[in-house]
Structure 1
Amino acid sequence: MKLNRTTLRTVDILKLVSKRPDGITLDEICERLGLPKTSAYDIVTTLVQTGMIHVAREQKQRYHIGLTAYRIGINYTNNLDFISVIEPVLKAFAREVGKTVFFGVRSEGEIIYICKFEPENPIITTATVGSKNPLYCTSLGKAILAFEEEDVAGSVMDRLKFQQKTGRTIVSREALEAELETVREKGYALDARELEEHMECVGAPVFGQDGTVIGAISVSSLYKPAEDYEALGRLVHKKALELSRLLGYLGKF
């Protein structure tokens, strides 16, 4: 089957723009994708007119992912086929650990909670399906950011605005990068009362068939000094790997 070259170029441009939260110039698009400037300009102009790409008219125009593309993404998220695969596993996991289990995805510098599964006697958590929290102070966010492609993670961190949520919140890029290195070594992330003083959370990344991180799962509960959160982290990591395998991931992490 012969694939249309212009369509392929359009998809490549959308993928590239979506990975650059800070925007990207036409020259950078042409350089990264090896496209003639006239061809790239025609495609980008069409994408701007359809709302798939937004242009920030600065000294040098920078292109960002547009509202139409975002809405398509939201519709996709709302109809994710893989949710039906992971849902029964996470429901059972919530009962097994007796804690609230979340699945979330990254949106710019925030985590969006897509699913929430509770045990028989759940504690009250402020996070609800559809709500957002910063990447840098959530176990879900750190788990995803640690395993993103390096250029994507760097671009995201360039735009983070750190705010002190509790006395334990990470408030600098340097501290976050050090934390992410630890996350990569262990395979799981901790929110050690960084978002809410009374809550402790453990998260681990979930990978898709192509090896990219598609989201993360976390376990949340009231903080207990006697709780072994490292052991819980290893358990969450194991469950995230199980989910990744179900979704066709064949690599290691």
Structure 2
Amino acid sequence: MKLNRTALRTVDILKLVSKKPDGITLDEICEQLSIPKTSAYDILTTLVHTGMIHVAREQKQRYTIGLTAYRVGINYTNNMDFISTIDPVLKAFAREVGKTVFFGVRADDEIVYICKYEPENPIITTATVGTKNPIYCTSLGKAILAYSQEEEREALMARIHFKTYTDRTIRNRTDFLKELELVREKGYALDARELEEHMECAGAPVFGPDGTVMGAISVSSLYKPTEDYEALGRTVCKKAVQISKLLGFIGKI
């Protein structure tokens, strides 16, 4: 897949500027992102014109995030209003299972943790809200991709670069496709210490009113040889079905 360099630079500039509430100069942007000044200036001029970035015309112009970017963010938040519906259910679920519960969505070939719910005495997990992990070695990612549209799944599979994190990490397309088939048979996915040696997770897909997969929920904890993770997976699957119905899904998984 060929990516447009200017578009990538634009995104990088927006990310950098958004982290600088006091503003950042053109020189600082060029230095931190290793972008030629002429290229950065052209991108910034366009972003200022569209309102994505605001410029304070002082002795040295300083750039801050603009009103249009804020509105885009608000629109995204509004589209995530369903979180308020599932929030109490997942909080109660975390207390019920005594483990950390996540809700995540797909971002290209990764999953993003949108929500995190912990029991009273949580086991520390490295994943935090907003962080990303590969789709092929997380229960969230497997659950989402297994139930995505076939055309969408095939296009994504072509972009995945398999990296080994533990001895149990899936290493190739063939094994991953077999894993996704197994997920569809069971209704849930397992991360059998594929991302982190000491963590095991079980995840299941969450569907919206139109039947498309919106994301997934997962339960994460330190690995215990005595724990029945298949049973945990079935529990997570039941909760995911409950949440899907709560969100208006009336089909059959």
TM over 0.5: yes
**Amino acid corresponding to residue 191 of structure 1 in structure 2:** D
Q: Distance in 2 between matches of 1:226 and 1:146?
A: 28
SS at match of 1:197: coil
Aligned to 2:156: 156
CA contact (8 A) 1:100 1:122 kept: yes
Q: Distance in 1 between matches of 2:136 and 2:84?
A: 28
| Correspondences of 1:1-253 after superposition (within 5 Å) | 75-79=74-78, 80-253=80-253
Query: How does the TM-score come out when normalised to structure 1?
Result: 0.71
Q: Distance in 1 between matches of 2:249 and 2:226?
A: 35
CA gap of 1:252–1:172, structure 2 versus 1, over 3 A, is same
CA contact (8 A) 1:22 1:159 kept: no
Query: How does the TM-score come out when normalised to structure 2?
Result: 0.71
CA gap of 1:76–1:162, structure 2 versus 1, over 3 A, is farther
SS at match of 1:177: helix
Q: Distance in 2 between matches of 1:230 and 1:73?
A: 41
Cα deviation, residue 171, structure 1? 1.0
SS at match of 1:128: coil
SS at match of 1:83: helix
CA gap of 1:195–1:121, structure 2 versus 1, over 3 A, is same
CA gap of 1:72–1:214, structure 2 versus 1, over 3 A, is farther
CA gap of 1:71–1:153, structure 2 versus 1, over 3 A, is farther
Q: Distance in 1 between matches of 2:226 and 2:246?
A: 33
Q: Distance in 2 between matches of 1:71 and 1:212?
A: 28
Bigger mean CA deviation after superposition, 78-87 or 206-215 = 78-87
How many pairs align?
Answer: 191
**Amino acid corresponding to residue 240 of structure 1 in structure 2:** A
Aligned to 1:54: none
Q: Distance in 1 between matches of 2:112 and 2:104?
A: 5
CA contact (8 A) 1:204 1:217 kept: yes
CA gap of 1:141–1:177, structure 2 versus 1, over 3 A, is same
Q: Distance in 2 between matches of 1:71 and 1:145?
A: 30
| Runs (5+) with no aligned partner, structure 2 | 4-49, 51-68
CA gap of 1:22–1:220, structure 2 versus 1, over 3 A, is farther
Q: Distance in 2 between matches of 1:245 and 1:100?
A: 22
**Amino acid corresponding to residue 82 of structure 2 in structure 1:** F
**Amino acid corresponding to residue 129 of structure 2 in structure 1:** V
CA gap of 1:76–1:205, structure 2 versus 1, over 3 A, is farther
Aligned to 1:56: none
Q: Distance in 1 between matches of 2:72 and 2:189?
A: 26
**Amino acid corresponding to residue 153 of structure 1 in structure 2:** R
CA gap of 1:247–1:73, structure 2 versus 1, over 3 A, is farther
Cα deviation, residue 78, structure 1? 3.1
SS at match of 1:141: helix
Runs of 4+, deviation exceeding 4 Å? 70-77
Cα deviation, residue 72, structure 1? 7.5
Q: Distance in 2 between matches of 1:162 and 1:75?
A: 34
Cα deviation, residue 75, structure 1? 4.3
Q: Distance in 2 between matches of 1:202 and 1:244?
A: 17
CA gap of 1:102–1:157, structure 2 versus 1, over 3 A, is same
Q: Distance in 2 between matches of 1:87 and 1:220?
A: 17
SS at match of 1:191: strand
Cα deviation, residue 134, structure 1? 0.2
| Runs (5+) with no aligned partner, structure 1 | 1-20, 24-49, 51-69
SS at match of 1:122: coil
**Amino acid corresponding to residue 185 of structure 1 in structure 2:** E
Give the RMSD, CA atoms, in angstroms: 2.2
